[in-house]
Structure 1
Amino acid sequence: MSTLPGRRRGPSKGDRREQAILETARVLLARKPLADITIDELAAGAEISRSSFYFYFDSKIAVVVALLHGITGELGRDAGPWLDGTGPDAGALRQALTSLAVLWRDQGRLLAGALAAAPGCPPLAQWRDGMRAAHVDRLAARIERDRAAGLAPDGPAPRVLAGLIDDLRTAALAGASDPEELVGDLVTVELRMLYGDFGVSHSAG
C-alpha cells in the first residue's frame, strides 16, 4: 500500500493522534503562515511529545502534503460539467469557479502557503504540478473540441492557453481577500480568453 511523500509507516490512517496533528495544523494555518508554524506547536496541539510527532510525520511539510491530499478532490468539485462540455457555457463555468472560490475562502492560507513554498520543496511542487496538469489536460481537450466544432476561434496552442488560464485563476484566487467576489470577473475573463466575442456577451451575463 502506498504512502504519502514524507510519511513514515506506522499506525493506521484513522489513528486519533495523527488526525489530531492534522487538525492542529489546520487551526494554526488559519492564524499564521506556514513558515511560522513549528513542530513543537504541532506536537503540543496534538498533545504528544516532539519525538512522538516524528512517528507519524517526518516533517512539517509532510503534514501539509497530507492536508493537501485531503482536499485534492474538492479542488475539482463541480468542474465536470464545464470541463466536459462545449461552447461558452457561462453557467457551468460559474458553478466550477464558485466551488473553487469557496474552497479558497475556507482553505486559502493552506493553499497559498503551499504554493509559495512549492518552488523550493519537491513534495509541494509535485502536488501543485499534478493538480495543474490535471486541469490543463481537460481544459485543453475542451478547447480542441470547441475549435474543431467551430465554437471557438483559433489562437494559442490549446495546452498553452489552458495553462495561462490555470495560472491566472490560481494567482487571482490566491491574492483575493474575498475569492467569491472574483467569480463573476473570472467567468468573463476566461470566456473571453477562450472564445473572444463568440457569444460571450450573451452567455456571461
Structure 2
Amino acid sequence: MSPPPGRRRGPSKGDRREQAILDTARTLLARKPLAEITIDELAAGAEISRSSFYFYFDSKLAVVVALLHGLAGELDADAGPWLDGTGPDEPALRRSLTALAAIWRTHGRLLAGALAAAPGCPPIGEWRNSLRAAHVSRLAARIERERAAGLAPDGPEPHVLAGMIDDLRTAAFAGATDPERLVDDLVTVELRMLYGDLRVLHSPG
C-alpha cells in the first residue's frame, strides 16, 4: 500500500544521518564545550565522513542552531497553563518553572553557550530574540489581564516587567549547577514581582 501523497514511508537515509549528527552533538555537548568539539567527532558519531558532514551542515554553528530550534518547543511546552491562567496560581507557575529547570539540567551547556554567543552571532541572536519576544508578549498579556481584573497592582509597564522576569530566570538558570534548586526562589520572586504582597496568595477567597 502506498503512503498518502506528500508522506514518506519513513525517514530517508539523509534524514537519519542528519539526526545522527544532531544526536552526536547533543551527547558531546553534555561532556564538553562547543569550542572543543570537532567536525571529525561529529562525523564519526554519525558514522559518516568529514566531507559528508558538509552535505548536511556547513559548520558546527549550523548544528548548534538546528539543536536550538529543536529545543524551542520544549522551552515553551509547559508554560501555557501559567501564561494563559488567572490569578496568583502558584502550582501552575511551579510546574512551568520545574519543567524549565529540567530542560536546563539536560541541555544547560548548549543553552548557556548559545546565550553567551548570541550577541556576536546573528543566527543564535535571532533565535534568542524570537524566543524571548514570544514569552515576554504572552506574559505581558497576562499581566495586563490581571491588572484589569484587579488581581494585580499597577506597576512597571507590562512588557518591561515581563522582560525583567524573563531575563531573571534566564540569568538564574544559565549560572546554575542544580537548576531544580532554584525553582522555589524563582516562584517566590516572580509572584512578588507580579502581585506585590505575597500574603494575597493565602488570603480568604
The two structures have a TM-score, normalised by structure 2, of: 0.89
- Superposed CA offset, 1:1-53 (max 9, x none): xxxxxxxxxx9696221111111101110011112212122112212222111
CA RMSD of aligned residues (A): 1.7
Alignment of 1:1-205 (within 5 A): 15-197=15-197, 199-200=199-200, 202=202
CA positional deviation for 1:199: 4.0
Q: Higher mean Cα deviation, 191-200 or 117-126?
A: 191-200
Asked if 2 retains the 8 angstrom alpha-carbon contact of 1:118 and 1:124, the reply is yes
1:85 alignment partner, SS class: coil
Runs (5+) with no aligned partner, structure 1: 1-10
CA positional deviation for 1:202: 2.3
- Superposed CA offset, 1:116-147 (max 9, x none): 11111111111111110010000000000111
In our comparison, the structure showing a higher alpha carbon Rg is: 2
Asked if 1 retains the 8 angstrom alpha-carbon contact of 2:191 and 2:198, the reply is no
Query: 2-side partners of 1:74 and 1:19: how far apart?
Result: 17
Q: Higher mean Cα deviation, 192-201 or 102-111?
A: 192-201
Aligned length: 193
Query: 2-side partners of 1:162 and 1:55: how far apart?
Result: 41
- Superposed CA offset, 1:83-122 (max 9, x none): 0112111111001101101111111111111111111111
Query: 1-side partners of 2:71 and 2:174: how far apart?
Result: 16
Asked if 2 retains the 8 angstrom alpha-carbon contact of 1:94 and 1:183, the reply is yes
Query: 1-side partners of 2:164 and 2:12: how far apart?
Result: 40
Asked if 1 retains the 8 angstrom alpha-carbon contact of 2:135 and 2:166, the reply is yes
2:41 alignment partner, SS class: helix
Q: Higher mean Cα deviation, 30-39 or 133-142?
A: 30-39
Asked if 2 retains the 8 angstrom alpha-carbon contact of 1:151 and 1:198, the reply is no
Runs (5+) with no aligned partner, structure 2: 1-10
Asked if 2 retains the 8 angstrom alpha-carbon contact of 1:147 and 1:154, the reply is yes
Task: Supply the AA of the counterpart residue of 1:62.
Answer: A
Are residues 63 and 12 of structure 1, via their aligned partners in 2, closer, same or farther at CA, if it must alter by over 3 Å? farther
Query: 1-side partners of 2:13 and 2:135: how far apart?
Result: 28
Query: 2-side partners of 1:168 and 1:97: how far apart?
Result: 12
Q: Percent identity?
A: 82
Query: 2-side partners of 1:76 and 1:92: how far apart?
Result: 14
Query: 2-side partners of 1:14 and 1:93: how far apart?
Result: 41
1:76 alignment partner, SS class: helix
Asked if 2 retains the 8 angstrom alpha-carbon contact of 1:152 and 1:198, the reply is no
The two structures have a TM-score, normalised by structure 1, of: 0.89
